[in-house]
Amino acid sequence: MLAGPGRTLADAFERLEHAPHLKQVLRHPTRPLLGARLAVAPEEGEGYWELTRIRDEIYVVIANVAYNDPRFELVPGDGLLQFDFKISGDLTLAMSRTEPVRWNRPSLLVWSQPKGVDINEWTAPRAREQFIIVSMRPQFFAETFLPAGTGVPDALKAFVSSRAEQITYCQQPLSAQSLDVAMRLINNQHAGTLALVYTEALALELMCLAVASLSAPMAVPTEQFSERELRCLHAARAIVMRQFAPAPTIDRLARSVGMSKSILTKGFKAVFGETIFDFSLSCRMRHALTLIRDQGWSVEQAGQAVGYAHPTSFTTAFRRHFGMRPIDIRRNKAHSRSNS
């Protein structure tokens, strides 16, 4: 709609001030900040896309949309490095014929798409897509966000390489702090040039949080485990990821995968870097968040779906995990819909 089929993100921003369909275009009077909002056509769905360019170097795309029908797009490779902060929705990226990435839960997806390497993406119908994408050239990212004179963190080495010829990506859960910043960015209450400055500040904060999480040293297991034990540990993790109510007990989990309780608990922490309880709690809370935001479940319904008999206990656990109450998620969603 902004630059034509097959055009890149940079092309869209170049044509931003002259494109039709735009609800508003903002330019800061003294700083290199440009922004615009593109509303979704009523016959297609509801919501908007918000685009901000910082210094001709950082592109920020905010999505708060829901389409009536499945939406398919060809995404051309533009050589940019993207940090995608997902809050809600159901979007799939066809990274390769055998490796689609489904982006349907709160998470951080970092990926680079070389020039000339195109991919397909599709969005599920009626899924409320809320996410923020911050894009920039790999060299600019390295010069701006990575400390000078220090080695590039292992998790980021593939993304700053100038010789990449294929799509590189990694995905990890969205931290409570990043989720809070992302939601404040989507619910930007400011107008005019102040809105541009606020977007710049929160987008840079999101980048700092992302780099810090990806730079943290990974837990390296010191114990040695057999191939069978590793298979059992991964099987146990898969069970925890899909069983929410009731959450599996250590006894039942150990019997299901054929391991002793002691090896299971010790091995899980050594291989995956967290206890079974902490991992289970994180999976259940993220699932509850998805139910509340994406599917409109009540707090009581979501709590029961992840194993809590009493809403008060669920609210306490949810707030401890995300730093906000589940009712605040519902209010933010209602507020976003009214604004859209």
Confidence band (pLDDT; 50, 70, 90) for 220?
very low
Boundary residue ending a domain (167, 184, 215):
215
Asked if residue 120 and residue 75 are part of one domain, the reply reads: yes
CATH number at residue 185: 2.60.120.10
pTM, to two decimals: 0.66
How much is the pLDDT for 333? 56
How much is the pLDDT for 300? 94
Q: Using omega within 30 degrees of 0 as the cis cutoff, is the peptide bond preceding 5 cis? A: no
Percent of the chain past pLDDT 70, that is, above it, reads 90
Residue 121 tokens read as 């993406």
DSSP at 161: -
b/e for 68-98, b at 16 or more Cβ within 10 A? eeebeeebbbbbbbbbbbbbbbbbebbbeee
13-54 pLDDT, tens digit per residue, is: 888 877 776 767 899 999 999 999 988 889 999 999 999 999
- 65 domain-assigned: yes
Asked if residue 164 and residue 141 are part of one domain, the reply reads: yes
- 220 domain-assigned: no
Domain that holds residue 282: 227-339
How much is the pLDDT for 320? 84
**What does the pLDDT average to over 237-251?**
90
Asked if residue 247 and residue 206 are part of one domain, the reply reads: no
Asked if residue 113 and residue 211 are part of one domain, the reply reads: yes
Q: What is the CA radius of gyration of the chain?
A: 21
Q: Which helix (H) or strand (E) element contains residue 61?
A: strand 58-67
- 73 domain-assigned: yes
Asked if residue 181 and residue 320 are part of one domain, the reply reads: no
Asked if residue 316 and residue 242 are part of one domain, the reply reads: yes
* DSSP string of 147-183, one letter each residue: -TTSPPPHHHHHHH-TT--S-EEEEEEPPHHHHHHHH
Return d(Cα 59, Cα 279) in angstroms, integer. Answer: 34
How much is the pLDDT for 61? 96
Confidence band (pLDDT; 50, 70, 90) for 72?
confident
**What does the pLDDT average to over 322-337?**
69
- 52 domain-assigned: yes
Confidence band (pLDDT; 50, 70, 90) for 335?
low
pLDDT for residue 249 is more than 90: yes
Between 233 and 225, whose confidence is greater?
Answer: 233
- 318 domain-assigned: yes
Asked if residue 183 and residue 98 are part of one domain, the reply reads: yes
Between 29-43, 221-235, 251-265, 295-309, the lowest mean confidence (pLDDT) is in 221-235
Boundary residue ending a domain (183, 215, 247):
215
95-143 pLDDT, tens digit per residue, is: 654 456 777 777 899 988 888 888 888 888 888 899 999 999 999 999 9
How much is the pLDDT for 293? 79
For residue 289, what are the CA distances in angstroms to 33, 84, 245, 282, 330? 33, 18, 15, 11, 10
- 4 domain-assigned: no
Is residue 160 within 8 A of residue 136, CB to CB? The reply is no
Residue 226 tokens read as 């057999």
How much is the pLDDT for 337? 54
Asked if residue 42 and residue 171 are part of one domain, the reply reads: yes
CATH number at residue 279: 1.10.10.60
Boundary residue ending a domain (215, 250, 284):
215
Between 252 and 97, whose confidence is greater?
Answer: 252
- 83 domain-assigned: yes
Asked if residue 67 and residue 207 are part of one domain, the reply reads: yes
Asked if residue 128 and residue 104 are part of one domain, the reply reads: yes
Return d(Cα 162, Cα 158) in angstroms, integer. Answer: 9
Asked if residue 71 and residue 49 are part of one domain, the reply reads: yes
- 222 domain-assigned: no
Residue 177 tokens read as 């702090």
Asked if residue 251 and residue 175 are part of one domain, the reply reads: no
Per the structure, the count of domains in the chain is: 2
Return d(Cα 231, Cα 305) in angstroms, integer. Answer: 28
Confidence band (pLDDT; 50, 70, 90) for 217?
low
Average pLDDT over all residues of the chain: 84
How much is the pLDDT for 198? 96
266-319 pLDDT, tens digit per residue, is: 888 877 767 899 888 888 988 888 888 778 899 999 999 999 999 999 999 988
**What does the pLDDT average to over 227-232?**
86
DSSP at 18: G
